[in-house]
Amino acid sequence: MAAKAQPAAPPAGGNGNAGVHLPLGNGNNEHGGWRVDPPGQVDNEHSNRPDAPPGQIGKFGEDLTGTGDDNTIVGGLGNDTLDGQGGNDHLTGGRGADKFVIGPLDVQPGEGENPDTIGNIDTITDFNAADGDKIAFGFVGDANYDELTLDPPADPPADYDPFAAAKAAAEAKMGADQNAGFDYVSVQVGDDVIVFADLDGDGTADSAVVLAGATLDSVGAGDFV
């Protein structure tokens, strides 16, 4: 039987378990493990290695905040908080129990701005209540929840706006009366769900978010903070 190959001894300059720093990683440590360092890496004190591999963002949970523009924000493996701020943002939490912070609707857009439509509000691409994901609209207190499916007209007019129709249907439930009105209403619109929130109890939607590719089974009363 052939003898088991033994790890090569560290090249000159190594210091035991610390490994050897070579620009292209063509060396090994005393345990035989290859170590690749970025260009310019000379020792541990002056490390150029990133804290996490490329694409691994928020391993231990991050607060990820956007700007007033249209942002795409992607979380990682931990329990992240994603806040797009202004703009029409695409939010992807990744793994973990993530919190998505959603701002108010722009009910009176300024000059040059588009009114809110399905494409002009924040979108969560991977909402997963089973992972513990939550949507934060900023409502404080007990909240009532309801849901419905929007049935588009058989022959919709040219100016038919599914977002406006979904918002009107949600507000009909929000404004039922002061005692029975709902604070959160989810509306199935095609392949997506739009969640509307009435934050001040006046029977109108103050905030909304699209859950891309979701169904009404994907969201419920316990998914808001």
Residues in contact with 53: Cβ distance below 8 Å, sequence separation at least 6, in sequence order: none
CA angle 71–62–47, rounded 5-degree value: 105
Spatial distance between the Cα atoms of 165 and 182, rounded to a whole number of angstroms = 17
User: Is this model's pTM higher than 0.85 or not?
Assistant: no
8 A C-beta contact, residue 55 and residue 75: no
| 169: β partners | none
* DSSP string for residues in 145-175: EEEEE----SS--TT--HHHHHHHHHHHHHT
Short-list 28, 54, 49, CA closest to 39: 49
Burial (CB count within 10 angstroms: exposed 0-12, middle 13-18, buried 19+), residue 200: exposed
pLDDT tens, the chain, 225 aa long? 555 555 555 455 545 444 444 333 344 444 344 445 556 665 555 555 444 444 444 455 788 999 888 899 999 889 999 999 888 899 999 999 999 999 888 654 444 444 444 456 899 999 999 999 999 998 756 678 999 999 988 998 999 999 999 999 999 999 865 556 789 999 999 999 999 999 888 899 999 999 999 999 999 999 998
Short-list 172, 208, 204, CA closest to 193: 208
8 A C-beta contact, residue 57 and residue 76: yes
Whole-Å CA distances, 44 to 20, 47, 49, 173: 10, 5, 9, 61
